[in-house]
Amino acid sequence: MLLVFSYSYSAIMPETDWKDKELKGKVKSMTEITYKYEDNEVKKKKTIFNENGYIVEELHYDKNRKEPYSYKKRYNDKGLLIESHEHTYSYEYDKNGNLVQIKRPKNSAYGGFERTTYNKAGKIIRTQTFTQNQYDKAGVKITDDSNYLKDKNGELYQSLTDYSYIYNKDGKLQEIRDNVFSSGTIKYSYEFEDGLYVETAELVTQKFVTYYDKAGNEVYYMWVTWRTSQEEPRIQLYLAFKDTKRDKYGNLTYQVANRVEVVDITKGEGNDVGIYEKKVIEYEYYE
């Protein structure tokens, strides 16, 4: 008996913007007002989603303008992004059957593009940027590991950046590996500490740590830097969150972040110096 298996590449879709923003329910629009007290600044943005969970328009409000700035996105009949305010997008598949998005600027003085590869689960596994070479590269051997790439039209491009995304068995991001400069690699860890869930993103000379309670609310955020491994770490920013509110779907609607001058870095103890930032968010949902 002959068994025939087929795989539809068209089924591969990038993870939705709902998922990227950790939104629950079928959010139609999200209006966020952020008050930045230290900068005496207020930012307002409205994000509109289609019924598939992808952004179709962003409205940025400016107190000096009557109408907001509008940035729209357009999708094809398969649901893939094909046009934004400044870019066009096309798609192909690599030899492993992964979806590859090619992003090109609409108006640019030089040729270049960004290449994003998605696995079959829709997660990003590689991002690359390329620029058009400015001189003859005759004789350069093009291989998978070289710094050059030829597109389908035979045009030669030079690699500028190249990142690989690695996930753990639970699908959580474990590492963004810089394949050009190892110092740009970011490693992620997840653990529990004193009843709180802790997410850490660490580079060579700095790390960003966020603490969450059992309900998934941010409790503390810490940005730490150091110049060498022998140097005492310095806290550049420490925030304590309070008055967190969510709607019936579980989406964040209100949050206040207070800045803390830390006295004891090992315990996170310090003096509250006032409100650093406040967020107020409203949602509309598809029925």
Mean pLDDT is lowest, of 7-16, 17-26, 33-42, for 7-16
Judged on CB neighbours under 10 Å (0-12, 13-18, 19+), 4 is: exposed
b/e per residue 205-242 (b: at least 16 CB within 10 A):
ebbbbbbbeeeeebbbbbebeeeeeeeeeebeebbbbe
Residue 26 φ then ψ, to 5°: -90, 80
As a whole number, mean pLDDT of residues 75-94 equals 97
Confidence of residue 275 (pLDDT cuts 50, 70, 90): very high
Joined together, the tokens standing for residue 243 give: 């008055």
**pLDDT, tens digit, 9 for 90 and up, residues 106-135:** 987 667 899 999 999 999 999 999 987 554
Tokens 């952020």 belong to 34
pLDDT > 70: what percent of the chain? 87
pTM: 0.87
Task: Answer for the pair 75, 54: CB distance below 8 angstroms, yes or no.
Answer: yes
**pLDDT, tens digit, 9 for 90 and up, residues 164-211:** 999 999 999 999 999 999 999 999 999 999 999 999 999 999 999 999
User: For 226-230, which contacts have Cβ atoms below 8 Å and span 24 or more sequence positions?
Assistant: none
CA dist 149 and 127 (Å) reads 14
- The DSSP H or E segment spanning 19 is helix 17-20
Amino acid identity of 4? V
Domain residue ranges in the chain: 22-54+185-286
b/e per residue 110-124 (b: at least 16 CB within 10 A):
ebbbbbbbbbeeeeb
Residue 53: per-residue pLDDT: 98
Joined together, the tokens standing for residue 100 give: 């590859």
**pLDDT, tens digit, 9 for 90 and up, residues 33-55:** 999 999 999 999 999 999 999 99
Kindly calculate the radius of gyration of the chain based on its CA atoms and give it in whole angstroms.
22
277 Cβ partners below 8 Å, 6+ apart?
A: 34, 35, 36, 37, 239, 256, 257
